[in-house]
Structure 1
């Protein structure tokens, strides 16, 4: 026979569980269709709902003390996603987040399309990443090494969810050029979502001298290559400025030193057909650092191997074959048009995938002029990208199959359940 205290505890647990379920329903409604406030996030919310509902059922049926701990962890991981979504209510940051989401989607979609090309249904990949603003000084993406203790458990659950988070510094919402670094963070998400780390690691061990160095830093190497393929010289020059703050930084077991990162990016530009931009990047970097920090010229064979080897995780596509190579001349002409407030050049598609790297390149080419036109330029980028943005639920054009979010959520629910059982 249960005591009154035990019944109150049980009733409170069920009420909190029902409250979280009601919040999931609320966000499903907020993203349901074109008339809803945030239709572009509907598949992400559906996937999260499918991942978390089975855990709530588990909480309802479990022993109260253990269930209370599990519910608190579930609440923590949901609220991280919920808080990220809720930033779209803030009128001061909503336009930037919409643009950043569009750009992240443009960086993620080539991998999803390639993997689907040989699959009967959507591959077991995560939903596109959800961009949000954070207090941190640099962009980051989950997964990352987890802190210790209870936070480690919440972080592990977070990494198992079907929607990865990409965090951007809050101040970046006021400086559009650095938004292009989002492409690097999406690269981390692609490497994990499509299971490419093992395949690329095996490739490096078969083909590359010093493969251990590459495999230890594969996440960062891949993310830099991916960012360059997504955004060309707009990404490359921005990254070079970003890492130039510490050109002689200490060796790391995760990051190549800055001069090597610049070399990797320059080689990627060259392999993508942008030889002039690659040479310009090398000359710019080498002209502002001491000789010992000059970019090495011996990495290109390995970069070529990474870019041109067909990958099973991408349906047999190569990394280089995923992306239509945007002519560097078009990117530069678009950046010049933004600076001069002139019409966009012929062939320029007013999407975030072009406008974000063009804005980054405009700042690189002429930061003084950029500063004088920044308000008009930023408004123009937002307006043009919004006009280009698809209406309604993202993926309704067939780029996402109808039941894919629920399938991804169900797979995540199984992983989450295993984690909870293991604790």
Structure 2
């Protein structure tokens, strides 16, 4: 029964996300968000897996709306619940999480309000970064590169903090690689808070949390843009970020360039193909100057801007850049809706994801057999654990019976306590 219920709960987790695509008001946006997520995910997948029919090669990420205030991703057990608000009986935990994480579909959750504001959707790139780290087993490699950077910075005493923050740092870096300066603008907009909240935020060893301070995150973004070759764009965002200050020791800010260079340029991504050398994430996946030039030319046209092209990363970046350049014109000219319509009609194709070559029937059969073998393995493991649990329960019951028989565990009558009352 437990096994059956676990399977139903895992399926329920995905059912709620799939059914959103039956709603007319959500269908278009989710399809477009899926396409952007796939454009961010597929370059790493293509480098890692020489054989796309491998069961280890996961399917494109599934984007859905949820009740959280910020985006999140669920890959290997992270935030693996239907909603940020807990609902009794719907959360997955323990073995359910582990089983769900082995399924071939990673997911990205978006706040409901983003359905009406395309310029914020670039943060999907950050969430795909989490999926990339987990699905392609990059954590150990990232930690090694981080430690190399810290050694160069002579920052070993701050290692505990940076290791704790590594997952979010990589996701921020990956977001920058997905859409360049436009992502930086979107994330800075998301992070922006009251001056005192940012400038006086301080973390200590007792409460590092998974995130660096907001100030340090902004500094990391600026350094990534610099490394990507956008010094002109850095200047504008830096003038905004310099209005804040950091309450953390100065050494943390000094560490940032060393860390960013290592994580961007270190040989991190390994291919399953024989003879293919490891490559840096920046070598495989990076928003180029040529892509940014297309964005800049479109935005300079102002009200004469015509939506064109088939590069969804450029189109998303253009939406953000146009909004930053002139929010009123962006809204008045309805650029968001125009870009969404263009993507729907000219970028998304029926059937498989854009640019993904179809598998042959034989490859599909091989992949399905691999999934079936993996499923049988998971079920067998759960059953073995259930059998072991039943044996432990039976052993405990036998101990209780034996104890009752020899009197060692028999319930003893309560001893009469002397009265403290005075007669």
Q: How is 1:28-177 mapped onto 2 (pairs within 5 angstroms)?
A: 68-117=1-50, 122=54, 124-142=56-74, 143-144=77-78, 151-153=92-94, 154-177=96-119
CA distance in 2, matches of 1:215, 1:73: 34
- Say whether 1:353 aligns with 2:313: yes
Contact 1:199 1:311 in 2 (8 A): yes
- Say whether 1:256 aligns with 2:256: no
Contact 2:201 2:246 in 1 (8 A): no
- Say whether 1:332 aligns with 2:291: no
CA distance in 2, matches of 1:299, 1:104: 27
Deviations 1:202-251 (A, max 9, x none): 23234423343322112101100000000111110110111112524453
CA distance in 2, matches of 1:353, 1:165: 19
CA distance in 2, matches of 1:123, 1:273: 37
| Greater helix proportion | 1
Deviations 1:323-379 (A, max 9, x none): 254323322333445x525225xxx63332211122122222222322322xx3122
Q: Which residue of 1 aligns with 2:133?
A: 191
Q: 3-state DSSP class of the match of 2:38?
A: helix
Moved over 6 A (4+): 146-150
- TM-superposed CA distance for 1:139, in Å, is 0.5
In structure 2, the CA distance between the partners of 1:243 and 1:400, relative to structure 1 (3 Å rule), is farther
**Residue correspondences, number:** 348
Q: TM-score, normalised by structure 1?
A: 0.74
* Aligned pair partner of 2:237 in 278, 281, 289: 281
| Gap runs ≥5 in structure 2 | 272-276, 387-423
Q: Which residue of 1 aligns with 2:172?
A: 224
- What is the Cα-based RMSD across aligned positions, in Å? 2.9
* Aligned pair partner of 1:384 in 336, 342, 346: 342
* Aligned pair partner of 1:418 in 372, 377, 381: 381
- Structure with more relative contact order (C-alpha pairs < 8 Å, separation 6 or more): 1
Q: 3-state DSSP class of the match of 2:353?
A: coil
CA distance in 2, matches of 1:393, 1:239: 30
- TM-superposed CA distance for 1:174, in Å, is 1.0
Q: TM-score, normalised by structure 2?
A: 0.74
Q: 3-state DSSP class of the match of 1:256?
A: coil
Contact 2:129 2:175 in 1 (8 A): yes
- TM-superposed CA distance for 1:396, in Å, is 7.8
